[in-house]
Structure 1
Amino acid sequence: MSNFYGDFSPKIDYVFKIVLIGDSAVGKSQLLARFARNEFSLDSKATIGVEFQTKTLLINDKTVKAQIWDTAGQERYRAVTSAYYRGAVGAMLVYDITKRQSFDHMARWLEELRTHADKNIVIMLIGNKCDLGSLRAVPTEDAQEFAERENLYFMETSALEATNVESAFSSALKEIYQAASKKSLTANGGNYGNSSSLKGTTIVIPNRDSDPPAKKGGCCS
């Protein structure tokens, strides 16, 4: 059970860096805004470069600060954002269920992620905008098959209607925490980004080869 704090928080036990990646306009920034601030803006503009927000939660009596990086999806920023994959212990691969091309690009984004990130990173495939079911271009079954083949977690979300957004992030964070807690890990000063207040433990995720296959999550079914 995860309990979320407001603007104040006790001592931080862990800092987990998670990156949001995927094509432009699939709703990465809106997912982050919904999770971090419970906000949604119809006038959202494309992310330039990289932005991040944080949210603190309690997992098994440990205080965890999720530091979530929102990477621009435009091609011209990819060389810049690739450096930000390093140090990430979790990743959300986001596509738009109404745009088949954004899903077809998931394999390429996944390849780039695995090239730049730690090999044991926790990865969740996110099919966003499931409130637009009448415009669906990506069957849930296609995404489930891809997730199972690549050993990813999977969930469909709607940032507009707040469907499965908190569940997706909290599930990923729990997986990261559980993987981290399986071993006695070397503690370093976890201080991602420019904020000196974000201090905790840098986590090296243990090998997940023995973990069960991808978990499935529906949206509007």
Structure 2
Amino acid sequence: MLQFKLVLLGDSSVGKSSIVHRFVKDSFDEFRESTIGAAFLSQTVKLGKHDDVTIKFEIWDTAGQERYKSLAPMYYRNANAALIVYDVTQPGSLLKAQSWVEELKHKVGDQDLVICLVGNKLDLCAEDPNARQVDIDDAQAYAQEKHLLFHEVSAKTGVGVAQIFQEMGEKVYEQKTAESAAAAASRPRKAVNVELQRPSTNDSTTCCA
């Protein structure tokens, strides 16, 4: 089974841990305490688009508090995928998510990392349309500009959460299989000697003896 490292980044209280627990345990805790440092969970995903290949995500859920931000590089180093989460009901939340995207692209490189921008707390917008403070068109336009995957979800109801990890799993798998194929194609091939064997002039049984 292929294993891929996935990291969640974003401000405190945007719902990173709630998204992970909805995905891994299909549960939601209204009063979940803030993550300290980072938490580790894992979950498998079956990729229906690839002959039902199953992959395993090793998930690092990082703390969003400013005092833990310096620890983030330790967790996103060597990651294959990243979820950058913002709160659709908080003005300025998208800007903070964008700073995480820029940091990742600068320090990790966008060629080696599948990044998904995720707007959480859609359930609050369903309850009160005036609760939305981040326009979906703005977030989507930014994601397209930076070549990111993009989803809006609700960790509370589960809407859209499974689709995030499904799409990310497919993208990471496609990227890694393409890299493996390219590496195999670039390996020098062993030369094959196709020269015909000539009769030995010292062999009395040959026609030329």
What amino acid is aligned across from residue 56 of structure 1 in structure 2? T
Correspondence list, 1:99-114, <5 A: 99-114=90-105
| Whole-angstrom CA distance in 2 between matches of 1:178 and 1:185 | 11
Q: How does 1:1-221 map to 2 (within 5 A)?
A: 13-59=1-47, 60=50, 61-120=52-111, 121-133=113-125, 134=129, 135-184=131-180
Count residues in correspondence: 175
Distance in 2 between residues matched to 1:104 and 1:183, nearest whole Å: 32
Q: Which runs of 5+ in 1 are unaligned?
A: 1-12, 187-221
Q: Secondary structure at the match of 1:145?
A: helix
Query: How many angstroms does 1:147 deviate by?
Result: 0.6
Distance 1:107 1:82, change over 3 A: same
Distance 1:71 1:129 in 2: 18
Q: Equivalent pairs: percent with the same residue?
A: 40
Task: Output one character per residue of 1:175-201: Cα deviation in whole Å (capped at 9) or x when no partner.
Answer: 101111123279xxxxxxxxxxxxxxx
Secondary structure at the counterpart of residue 179 of structure 2: coil
CA distance in 1 between counterparts of 2:180 and 2:21 reads 33
Q: Which amino acid aligns with 1:38?
A: D
State how far apart, in whole Å, the 2-side matches of 1:112 and 1:18 are.
Answer: 16
1:26 Cα deviation (Å)?
Answer: 0.2
Secondary structure of the residue aligned to 1:77 is: helix
User: How far apart, CA to CA, are the structure 1 residues paired with 2:160 and 2:10?
Assistant: 18
Which residue of the partner structure matches residue 187 of structure 2?
A: none
Give 1:80 deviation, angstroms: 1.2
With structure 1 as the length reference, what TM-score do the two structures score? 0.75
The offset of 1:78, in angstroms, is 0.9
Higher Cα radius of gyration: 2
Which amino acid in structure 2 is aligned with residue 123 of structure 1?
I
Deviation at 1:43, TM superposition (A): 1.1
* Greater per-residue helix proportion: 2
Task: State how far apart, in whole Å, the 1-side matches of 2:34 and 2:92 are.
Answer: 18
Give 3-state SS (helix, strand or coil) of 1:105's partner: helix
Quick check: 2:45–2:169 contact (8 Å CA) kept in 1? no
Work out whether residues 87 and 118 of structure 1, in 8 Å CA contact, stay in contact via their aligned partners in 2. Answer: no
Q: CA deviation at 1:150?
A: 1.1
Counterparts of 2:85 and 2:170, CA distance in 1: 19
Q: Which stretch has the larger CA shift, 113-122 or 24-33?
A: 113-122
